[in-house]
Structure 1
Amino acid sequence: MDLDAVRTFVAAADAGRFQEAAAELAVTQQAVSKRIAALERLLGVRLFTRTPRGAELTIDGQAFLPHASELLRVAERAVASVRSGSRPLRVDVIASRVAASGLMRGFHRAHPEVELDVVMLFDIEAAVAAVRSGAIDASFRAVAAPGRPLPADIASVRVVDEPLQLLTGPAHALAGARSVPLARLAEHRIWMPGVVPGTEWAAYYEDLAAEFGLTIEATGPNFGSDALLDTIADTPALATFMGEQTRLVWPAGHGLRRIPVTDPTPVYPHSLLWHRDNPHPALATLRAHLATAAPGRAAAGTSTWTPAWVLPR
């Protein structure tokens, strides 16, 4: 249905005269008549009766008017939903419990006036495609160095280096340690069923395992974090890696331990990606917030490790 014709019909119904509707819409009276006639042909009914006093709605016109008005309101809402500055800022955080989700919660507390639409995409290829198409405004990802560059229209800035921790059950050999050197983990099995081949986080852990001789197993189905915590709590031979900012809750009886990894501390490099031409005003607000409020950096003087392909700070 032609929304211009619907808008003309509503204007004419409100004004009671085609001439006044034409003045309101900044068109000719002839244009108003043609639009109304086209709408009447489409609907198969007469909408107005001409009288000496102007144009009066027929019974069918009276029935159509509230629906026509609602059509225009829906159209306005549809436009507003995608207009930069009036729609929510759409940001990909990968998963609900990870550091990026925490960053966005902090941003929301600091800027409650900014409407947010938080999504969770699978890997960096999907995230970059969504940023380029405008489906999302920004994404948190581990970004490759210039040797493996992003598309030229995608900008990025490294915002958080999140230290990894070792998560063990109470009977694990390292459960009582206050910290553990990274090299010592070569003697232990690290189980990470959520690592999916071909993703950026899989590349990170593959390089970590290769450089320090670690055994990182991604075997078995991934039933989610609750099942992972159950298995780690009950299996003395297994441990897993968790980001320092990853939010975990487990039953008191699990007795799980989060142990800092040192010498060096492996850090996961979270970068913010966005399209260089994205005009959403809240995007600049988010970037400014992250520049000053991003948590999770390794302590000053701490020796850290990231893969060689990671975008430098």
Structure 2
Amino acid sequence: MELQQLRYVVAVAEEHSFTRAAERHFVVQSALSHQIKALERELGVRLFARTSRKVELTAAGEAFVPGARASLEAAERAAADAAAATGQIRGDLTIGMIPTVTAVDVPAALREFRRTHPAVRIRLRGGGSDEFIAAIAAGAMDIAILGLADSAVPRGVATRVLARERLVAVVGTGHRFADWRRLRLTDLVDETFVDFPEGSPGRLPSDHAFAAAGLRREVAFEAMSTDLILDLVRQGLAITLLSEAVVPAGRGLRTVAVTGGPTRIEYLAWSDFNPGPAALAFLGFVGAGDG
């Protein structure tokens, strides 16, 4: 059993096509098919049920593919560890970023990291803090930047606090609060809000602040995109609470400080169990190399 055979099997399983799997690995289809047939003979089972139009994993294939993926990941990690022992950092680095990163200039950090470690393949992923924490704990992500309410402490991952900030009210230039210098939560209870989806880490700081003050608010619009949230505010459909750093100056928007408003903590998170060489190297570029 060879690693290349495992790569071919995983590619066919993901592409559902021998042709596309061969194109993915830059080989002719006959060579890929030959290697998979040789592996099937060695294993004594069929991994794929195939016709001229359709390819599916058999029950044996379904059982085989997870182990094949794990073996490939282990082989890549072994190669990366060996290279790191000689001072070379290589392999993959997967980084998760929430939509409202403010504490780190990620592009600048990646520029410096890339200059120093050009052999590392970098994958950037968007999403929410909860899914990033789960992905790091499962070994599917190396590093993430999280944004959480001050009452939510990340568990199962190593973290460092990057910043604590008070969210501000964001309103359109035609809104009655546009020229105010400071607001209270009680001033906002009759307003229509746009916010991140209910239960998401991006929304919890605001929900917690209103609940702690014994107040209720109406969230009429939900969106995961910060740009879309700001567009709705710009159109006068709603107001929102965000980090001031993600609100572009001018462009039909105003920010107003909120007394007793939501507090948000931004974290850098990584695996607390055997992080890879590329992850450890990148932590140094964002000031967390000491853990």
TM-score (norm 1): 0.54
Do the aligned partners of 1:186 and 1:213 also contact (CA within 8 Å) in 2?
no
In structure 1, which of residues 133, 136, 140 is the aligned counterpart of residue 141 of structure 2?
Answer: 136
Q: Distance in 2 between matches of 1:245 and 1:139?
A: 19
RMSD: 4.1
In the alignment, what sits opposite 1:222?
A: 223
- Judged with a 3 Å threshold, the aligned counterparts in structure 2 of structure 1 residues 215 and 168 are, in CA distance, closer, same or farther, namely farther
Aligned counterpart, 1:234: 235
* CA deviation profile, 1:43-73 (whole Å, cap 9, x unmatched): 9xxxxxxxxxxxxxxxxxxxxxxxxxxxxxx
Which of 113, 122, 139 is the equivalent residue of 2:128?
Answer: 122
Match of 1:182 among 172, 181, 184: 184
Within 2, Cα distance between the matches of 1:262 and 1:221? 21
Identity, in percent, stands at 19
Of 89, 92, 96 in structure 2, the residue corresponding to residue 92 of structure 1 is 96
- Verify: 1:257 aligned to 2:254, yes or no: yes
Which residue of the partner structure matches residue 108 of structure 2?
106
Give the superposition deviation at 1:92.
0.7
- Give CA-to-partner distance per residue, 1:208-243, whole Å, 9 cap, x none: 11123555433245384454334323327x321121
Q: Which runs of 5+ in 1 are unaligned?
A: 6-38, 44-75, 293-313
Aligned to 1:268: 264
Which amino acid in structure 1 is aligned with residue 206 of structure 2?
Y
Partner of 1:290: 286
Distance in 2 between residues matched to 1:159 and 1:228, nearest whole Å: 24
Cα pair 1:166 1:242 within 8 Å, conserved: yes
Aligned length: 215
CA contact (8 A) 2:167 2:244 kept: yes
Output the CA distance in 2 between the equivalents of 1:264 and 1:242. 14
Bigger CA radius of gyration: 1
Given that residues 166 and 263 in structure 2 are in contact (C-alpha distance below 8 angstroms), is that contact kept between their aligned partners in structure 1? yes
User: Match of 1:246?
Assistant: 246
Q: Hey, what's the Cα distance between the residues in 2 that align with 1:280 and 1:2?
A: 24
The amino acid across from 2:240 in the alignment is: T
Q: Offset at 1:4?
A: 9.6
Query: Can you list the C-alpha shifts for 1:8-27, whole angstroms capped at 9, x where unaligned?
Result: xxxxxxxxxxxxxxxxxxxx
What SS is found at the alignment partner of 1:200? coil
- In structure 2, the partner of 1:202 is 203
**Does 2:276 correspond to 1:280?**
yes
Distance in 2, matches of 1:230 and 1:146, equals 29
Flag structure 2 segments of 5+ consecutive residues without an equivalent.
Answer: 6-34, 40-71, 82-88
CA distance in 1, matches of 2:134, 2:127: 11
How far does residue 190 in structure 1 lie from its aligned partner after superposition? Answer: 4.9
Q: Is the 8 A contact 2:194 2:221 kept in 1?
A: no
The aligned counterpart of 1:21 is: none
- Aligned-pair distance for 1:90? 1.1
Contact 1:91 1:138 in 2 (8 A): yes
Q: Aligned partners of 1:139 and 1:132: how far apart in 2?
A: 11
Give the match for residue 172 of structure 2: 169
Tell me the TM-score normalised to structure 2 length: 0.58
Write out the 4+ residue segments of structure 1 that deviate beyond 6 Å after TM superposition.
144-149
Question: What's the CA shift for 1:112?
Answer: 3.0
Q: Within 1, Cα distance between the matches of 2:189 and 2:149?
A: 30
Q: Using the alignment, how far apart are the partners of 1:101 and 1:89 within structure 2?
A: 20
Relative distance call for 1:239 and 1:275 in structure 2 (3 A) is: same
What's the counterpart of residue 213 of structure 2? 212
Q: Distance in 2 between matches of 1:3 and 1:283?
A: 24
SS in 1 for 2:286: helix
Q: Does 1:158 align with 2:161?
A: yes
Q: CA deviation at 1:205?
A: 1.9
Alpha-carbon shift at residue 277 of structure 1 (Å): 2.4
Q: Where does 1:31-50 land on structure 2 (aligned, <5 Å)?
A: none
Verify the 8 A CA contact 1:190 1:215 in the aligned structure 2: no
After superposition, the C-alpha distances for 1:230-274 in whole angstroms (9 at most, x for unaligned) are: 4323327x3211212226488x5xx22123x15446431011221
